[in-house]
Structure 1
Amino acid sequence: MRRLVMWDIDYTLLRGGGVAARAWKAAFTEVTGLAWRDTPVFGGRTDLDICAEVFTVHGVTDCTPERFFASYVRNVHEIKHEFAEQGALMPGVREVLTRLGDDPAVVQTLVTGNVPEVAAAKVAAFGLEGSFDAEVGGYGTDDSVRATLVRRSLERARVKYGETFRPVVIGDTVNDVTAALKNGAIAIGVATGATAAAELVAAGAHTVLPDLTDADAAIRAVTA
């Protein structure tokens, strides 16, 4: 059985340098006419979930997520060159992606809280777009619950490839780990974000790595 390796983006593959957050705030003011007052916790959440919280906190009742996301994507595309200028790849990412990409028993994709267009802009900024079958990914517009994103990705891969995959989720937050476990996936935690390694272990991750600089250890965790 081949493995479907589902990568989180932010603080797992890369850090975006706050570019998307600036675009988010600008889009919010653009579509609502309101000044931004309160920044939610973004880590490990889906954009649909964050959007609902932001609307509620600011008392917005006349704006749909679809309308907001259209503006958000436009804003991101205007400044997407800044991802590479202000952000960075996380340590070891390129080698691990390359080695897994050379393995015919592995299909790599993205399972991320980002909307698809922003996910694509982030990975493209660092030349990673060829590493993933983004068509079978799970994204922040699929559902507000992160575990559903993993399930959607599995369903898409099954339809496209006509086979059942063993799922592997790689992420830096407890939400990534929980989403993996709810779908019977191997959960690999990478402590390169705000979540400590001990928290990822306590959440039930099968493997926790300090980062991806030990490519051999990362490959073993995925293919074990």
Structure 2
Amino acid sequence: MRTLLFDIDGTLLLTNQGGAGAFEQALTEEFSLPEPSINVSFAGRTDRSLLAQLLTINDLPETAENVRRLQQRYVSVFPNVLRQRGGTVLPGVRDLLAKLHDEPRVRICVMTGNLQQTGEHKLAHFDLLPYVQWISGGEFDSHRDDLARRTATIIQDRHGTQSLHNVIVIGDTTADVRCGHAIGARVLAVCTGGDNHADLQTESPMAILPDLSNVDQVCDLLLT
């Protein structure tokens, strides 16, 4: 059986910068910062790396306790921020997941830089969570390649060593492509998020699509 590892933000959905808004609110509430800086790049990052950088640029020590406090507050405020910001499921995603969910040759999973809790909340908010078997989140790894390697261990533990030879990553950034290659997976890239076609092409994914709206074409790529 093939394991499909979908990214979330920019691949399946958009949250109108809900993550950035939640981090800003969390810094304000937890560390009494009236105007915290969130001037960092989010695309392709793990939340573990963002937690560390956000503390640093706001002149807060990057201690384990501060990371824990910021993460806990971020998870707490995120649901309300997401409700306020709204967002959208990207073209074709709902139909694609529904079709793949009925396909016995694949398992739908998620590998995301989000914390597992906030990733689950995003998927649940947009009614996508029922399609997903499990989520590997970005709370432990500062680098996306390390996230991919940890996810490969999850695949091996859950589904057996042979499953590692039948994995496809679906993502929207060059970091998604690189981390897929780091575990020997093929990668389907989409131009709906962090990077454009030219940038994605430099990392040599198996295919690049403008979006996931052509469900039959996407299924052909993911099932062959």
Partner AA of 1:12 in structure 2: T
Quick one: distance in 1 between partners of 2:155 and 2:182? Answer: 18
Quick one: distance in 2 between partners of 1:199 and 1:39? Answer: 22
* Root-mean-square deviation (Å): 1.6
Quick one: distance in 1 between partners of 2:2 and 2:185? Answer: 10
- Tell me how far 1:23 sits from its aligned partner: 1.2
Find the counterpart in structure 1 of residue 130 from structure 2: 130
Q: Is contact 1:80–1:121 with CA below 8 Å preserved after alignment?
A: no
Find the counterpart in structure 1 of residue 105 from structure 2: 105
Partner AA of 1:96 in structure 2: L
Q: 1:146 aligns with which of 111, 134, 144?
A: 144
Q: Is contact 1:46–1:145 with CA below 8 Å preserved after alignment?
A: yes
* 2:64 is equivalent to residue 65 of structure 1: no
Q: Is contact 1:115–1:139 with CA below 8 Å preserved after alignment?
A: yes
* 2:15 is equivalent to residue 13 of structure 1: no
* 2:97 is equivalent to residue 116 of structure 1: no
Quick one: distance in 2 between partners of 1:66 and 1:110? Answer: 24
Displacement over 4 Å in runs of 4+? none
Quick one: distance in 1 between partners of 2:137 and 2:7? Answer: 10
For residues 119-138 of structure 1, what are the alpha-carbon distances to aligned partners after superposition, in whole Å with 9 as ceiling and x for unaligned? 0111111111111112xx32
Quick one: distance in 2 between partners of 1:155 and 1:204? Answer: 24
TM-score of the superposition, structure 1-length normalised?
Answer: 0.92
Q: Is contact 1:154–1:167 with CA below 8 Å preserved after alignment?
A: no
Find the counterpart in structure 2 of residue 176 from structure 1: 176
For residues 167-221 of structure 1, what are the alpha-carbon distances to aligned partners after superposition, in whole Å with 9 as ceiling and x for unaligned? 1110000000010011101111000113111211111111101001111221122
Quick one: distance in 2 between partners of 1:120 and 1:37? Answer: 26
Unaligned runs of 5+ in 2: none
For residues 81-129 of structure 1, what are the alpha-carbon distances to aligned partners after superposition, in whole Å with 9 as ceiling and x for unaligned? 346xx20000000111111111111111111110011101111111111
Quick one: distance in 1 between partners of 2:178 and 2:139? Answer: 19
Find the counterpart in structure 2 of residue 187 from structure 1: 187
Quick one: distance in 1 between partners of 2:184 and 2:101? Answer: 23
Find the counterpart in structure 1 of residue 28 from structure 2: 29
Quick one: distance in 1 between partners of 2:81 and 2:49? Answer: 24
- Tell me how far 1:31 sits from its aligned partner: 1.9
Unaligned runs of 5+ in 1: none
Quick one: distance in 2 between partners of 1:38 and 1:7? Answer: 26
Partner AA of 1:59 in structure 2: D
Quick one: distance in 2 between partners of 1:121 and 1:183? Answer: 27
TM-score of the superposition, structure 2-length normalised?
Answer: 0.92
